[in-house]
Structure 1
Amino acid sequence: MNEVKPFRDDVTDRNMSGGCGFQDGVYKPIADVSVNVLDWGFNKSDVTYDVVHVKDGAFFRLQHHLDRFWASMAGLRMSIPYSQEEVAEILTECVRRARLRDAYVAMVTTRGVPKPGMPRKPGLIENRFIGYAIPWVDVIKPDVQERGAHLIIAKTPRIPSASVDPTIKNYHWGDLIRAQFEADDAGADTAVLLDLDGYLTEGPGFNVFAVIDGTVVTPDRGALEGVTRQSVLDLCADMGIPTEIRPITADEFREADEIFTATTAGGVMPCSRVDGRIKGNDRPGPISAKLKDVYWQRHAEGWDTTPIDYGD
């Protein structure tokens, strides 16, 4: 496979304030980025992606996200004509052009569009790459994080891992969307899902944790191996907080001393209720609150960050 250098156009008067995308070798306003309706990424959800955030002008754990993106492409037998270093530069340029200091930055590979008359075999289709940067997005709003998110355990089960591998980041969100509607109907902020055996997995866009007798516990199944999840485990090791990755039942989760979630788009996000049960004093618990504070403190100290040169 030959590497293709990204084309850096000279357009300076187009509005990138809403975000910048890179597609087919061209940087463009995010509103101009589109996917062909015949692309299997659109009509068959045959796509993988990854998201890295920029905070205060620096990527956080960029290499971790690139490595996971490449692993996801390998798992789906996809490839793109760019190296990791080139994708990193493309994403950096998207952030620069949008002039964003805090950003949600995505790398996406779709299966692509079959050529006319081509057999319906995914391995024959040329894959397509898109990168983009948009203003920062929080999965759970800051004011909700402050008082602690209210969760429900959804009746909708998580798609079985034997059918869709959750460790490959994907757009198979049918179950997660149904669970979010369940949360909306219950007056909660969001939901977590169980697998078919009744064990905790994840929620719409986040990993989940329980604090049980001073130990931070996270599910061992049905969930993305999140970069922020790993960051939490790393911080716990640094802070002397014991951790476990193991099965968690619904009852155990409901009875936990504290619960919190974690994602690239929001960091460590404490919760205060699950299925209407109030945790502690209906505010974030001490361990989850401390982890949130230390997570952002370490960001400010430059922990595993990649600063962006904006040319100012």
Structure 2
Amino acid sequence: MGLIQAERIMREDPAHARLPHDADYAHGAAFIDGRFCSVDTAAIPITDVGFLHADAAYDVVSASAGQLFRLPEHLARFEQSCAAFRLRNPYNERQTIAVLSRLVQLAGTREAYVWWCVTRGAMPDSGSERGNPSAYRNCFYAFVIPYLYIADDDTRNRGLDLRVSEQHIRIPEQAVDPTAKNFHWMDMKLSLFEARDRGADFSVLLDARGNLTECPGANLFLVRQGQLYTPDSGCLAGITRATVLELAAARGLPAHLTRLPASALREADEAFLTSTAGGIMPVNSVDGRQLGSGGPGPLTTQLHNDYWEKRWAGWHGTPVDYSAAQTTHTDLLIEARHHP
């Protein structure tokens, strides 16, 4: 059994084709604190401390074949992230869904990468109030672009080459909660640069005790003797990660959330990464050591194909209504209403 060539199917199959859209939205659509615009003209105020201090929570959901995947779970995680950082989404759930759906409509994207965040907002007029969460007006921003693959068909067919970072560790949980999706990416970015400098595709970060955590923007799984293992701490509670656990249960595959040393990954039979921007991504090697016979292993291939087949069949999907895509631009201002 080979991997489903998901990228090619999404690019060539008419069921996945992009719909007609205004030329302004050729590269995508954005929503900037109350107004829709093209992604090319979107901008945030330079004094927003989301920009100045990475003070924000965000989330990403994907659409395929015109269906948003596990949207309720993404929305719930987003609200949990906001609560963890004492942020408040100025839109309720219904309004948030309306904004995200409208962006997908405007861009005409059946295959879409849908990103949104709440930032702290501009610095208060009085510097003495910067430690008071209620002194800020939290702001909502979002954008939609055509689906973004962080591992294309060719890369998934051969499998990713990973490097366990030697220069960087994951930000400790006591500093920034990794289960709340946040802008604190410098540890992950620097480890990714390190991996690329060493000829690898992707990095893996350890915690201060030498246990596996996650990869830049992706959760990590390994397979040993027909069983799945994934780190239980130091990582995002990924929606694709949860999906893999559900798929594994359906196949009767034992799965373990546990502490894992780096050696467990290097000695695995198979490994793969999971992310909204890529789905299930097979691993070929770790620190120059090939896993198994190299490339996608049999269990990885099964789970990868299950993931796309079930998604395209409507599993956990929220269909986008594209019939409103031609609405005139006079209705594009949405008033922010805080939760009662």
Question: What TM bracket, shorter-length normalisation?
Answer: over 0.9
Residue deviations 1:122-173, cap 9 Å, x none? 4011100012111111122331111111001011111111001000001111
Please name the residue that 1:109 is paired with.
118
Which has the higher mean CA deviation after the structures are superposed, 295-304 or 29-38?
A: 29-38
CA–CA distance in structure 1, aligned partners of residues 54 and 236 of structure 2: 17
CA–CA distance in structure 2, aligned partners of residues 270 and 13 of structure 1: 37
CA–CA distance in structure 1, aligned partners of residues 307 and 173 of structure 2: 30
Q: 1:196-211 residue pairs with structure 2 within 5 A?
A: 196-211=208-223
Cα offset for 1:66? Answer: 0.2
* Contact 1:111–1:122 (CA under 8 A) maintained in structure 2: no
State yes or no: 1:80 paired with 2:89: yes
Which has the higher mean CA deviation after the structures are superposed, 135-144 or 192-201?
A: 135-144
State yes or no: 1:146 paired with 2:173: no
Helix, strand or coil at the partner of 2:206: coil
Which has the higher mean CA deviation after the structures are superposed, 99-108 or 115-124?
A: 115-124
Distance change >3 Å, CA 13–CA 240, structure 1 → 2: closer
Candidates 190, 193, 198, aligned match of 1:181 = 193
Please name the residue that 2:57 is paired with.
48
Q: 1:23-102 residue pairs with structure 2 within 5 A?
A: 23-102=32-111
State the AA in 1 paired with 2:315. Answer: W
Please name the residue that 1:5 is paired with.
none
Helix, strand or coil at the partner of 2:203: strand
CA–CA distance in structure 2, aligned partners of residues 159 and 295 of structure 1: 30
* Contact 2:22–2:106 (CA under 8 A) maintained in structure 1: no
Helix, strand or coil at the partner of 2:122: coil
Distance change >3 Å, CA 131–CA 122, structure 1 → 2: farther
Please name the residue that 2:29 is paired with.
20
CA–CA distance in structure 2, aligned partners of residues 122 and 212 of structure 1: 49
Moved over 3 A (4+): none
Helix, strand or coil at the partner of 1:241: coil
CA–CA distance in structure 1, aligned partners of residues 132 and 225 of structure 2: 48
Candidates 127, 131, 135, aligned match of 1:121 = 131
Structure with greater contact order relative to length (CA < 8 Å, sep ≥ 6): 2
State the AA in 1 paired with 2:125. Answer: P
* Contact 1:48–1:109 (CA under 8 A) maintained in structure 2: yes
Residue deviations 1:75-120, cap 9 Å, x none? 1111122111110111000000011110100111111002322522
Which has the higher mean CA deviation after the structures are superposed, 118-127 or 248-257?
A: 118-127
Candidates 243, 246, 250, aligned match of 1:238 = 250
TM-score, length-scaled by structure 1: 0.94
Paired residues, what number?
301
* Contact 1:51–1:107 (CA under 8 A) maintained in structure 2: yes
State percent identity of aligned pairs: 41
Residue deviations 1:165-197, cap 9 Å, x none? 000001111110111111111110001100000
Please name the residue that 2:238 is paired with.
226
State the AA in 2 paired with 1:84. Answer: E
Helix, strand or coil at the partner of 2:24: coil
Cα offset for 1:296? Answer: 0.4
CA–CA distance in structure 1, aligned partners of residues 92 and 78 of structure 2: 12
* Contact 2:90–2:139 (CA under 8 A) maintained in structure 1: no
Distance change >3 Å, CA 308–CA 113, structure 1 → 2: same
State the AA in 2 paired with 1:108. Answer: C
CA–CA distance in structure 1, aligned partners of residues 23 and 93 of structure 2: 28
Please name the residue that 1:254 is paired with.
266
Please name the residue that 1:8 is paired with.
none
State the AA in 1 paired with 2:195. Answer: A
> Gaps (5+ residues) in structure 1?
1-11
Please name the residue that 2:6 is paired with.
none
TM-score, length-scaled by structure 2: 0.86
Residue deviations 1:201-237, cap 9 Å, x none? 0001100001011110000111000000000000001
